[in-house]
Amino acid sequence: MSAAVSVRGLTKAYHGRTVLNGLDLTVPRGTVFGLLGANGAGKSTAIECMLGTKQADTGSVQLLGRDPKRDRREPFQRVGMQFQEGDYPHEIRVWELCEETACLYRAPADWRTLCRRFGIGDKLNAAVRSLSGGERQRLFIVLALIPDPELVFLDELTTGLDARARRGVWKTSEELKEQGLTVFLTSHFMDEVEALCDEICILKHGAAVFRGTAAEAARQCGCARFEDAYLMLSDEVGDE
């Protein structure tokens, strides 16, 4: 069986500045993988190149065994993406956005069930712009799961959620993995990374400086806590 995500030698530069520098990644199916790094480390560019929304300078990408640029239609049907924000009509309601999203896919999941699962089942008639930050974040996760995907990219999964809501989303993520879904996430919450990720990659200036588990990162750096190891490896120590 092919990997869910396979990246080889990915490079990208803007105006002579290298943003990705020979990135290699392999994400097994049915796992939770975390791409970590300081702001500007290249995480967003890497994901955009993986999804085919941005053209890498060199390298190759396969999602579920398909090239996301050449075979765009098939990965689109099988891959979900949670964006932090979206350019939606000003007055669009939650149910309208979910219904419009579902129409894009051959066999969408039941978005009403997803909304209830993520605690926004009572917000279907609300305008998206009227939702709180946490409610909007949960809606974006629902939108990513409407394709009933085999692979989903989650960008800052629980930003804006309170502690109880974060734990609920974690539990759902674990259940989705048990059902065979592959989850590719970015996060700045190291407790979230430790709780969810089977494996991580830490980027620094566009290059991978660590691949392995959170526990292995802590041991490699001689740290009692993974968060301390992450700060050392990502070079965020000086930003505190």
What's the CATH code of the domain at 228? 3.40.50.300
Q: What are phi and psi of 94, to 5 degrees?
A: -55, -45
Q: Quick check: is 186 in a domain?
A: yes
State pLDDT tens for residues 147-197.
999 999 998 878 777 888 888 888 888 888 888 899 999 998 999 999 999
Predicted confidence band of residue 218 (pLDDT cuts 50, 70, 90)? very high
Number of domains in the chain: 1
Q: Quick check: is 29 in a domain?
A: yes
**In contact, 117 and 146? CB cutoff 8 Å:** no
State pLDDT tens for residues 17-42.
999 999 999 999 999 999 999 988 99
Q: What is the DSSP letter of 128?
A: G
Q: Quick check: is 92 in a domain?
A: no
Q: Quick check: is 78 in a domain?
A: yes
Q: Quick check: is 220 in a domain?
A: yes
For residue 75, give both structure tokens: 């990965």
pTM value is 0.90
Q: Which residue, 19, 17, 73, is CA-closest to 43?
A: 19
Q: Quick check: is 93 in a domain?
A: no
Q: Quick check: is 43 in a domain?
A: yes
pLDDT of 237 higher than 70: no
Q: Quick check: is 127 in a domain?
A: no
Domain residues for 54?
A: 5-84+148-239
Report the SS3 class of residue 226.
helix
DSSP bridge partners of 79: 151
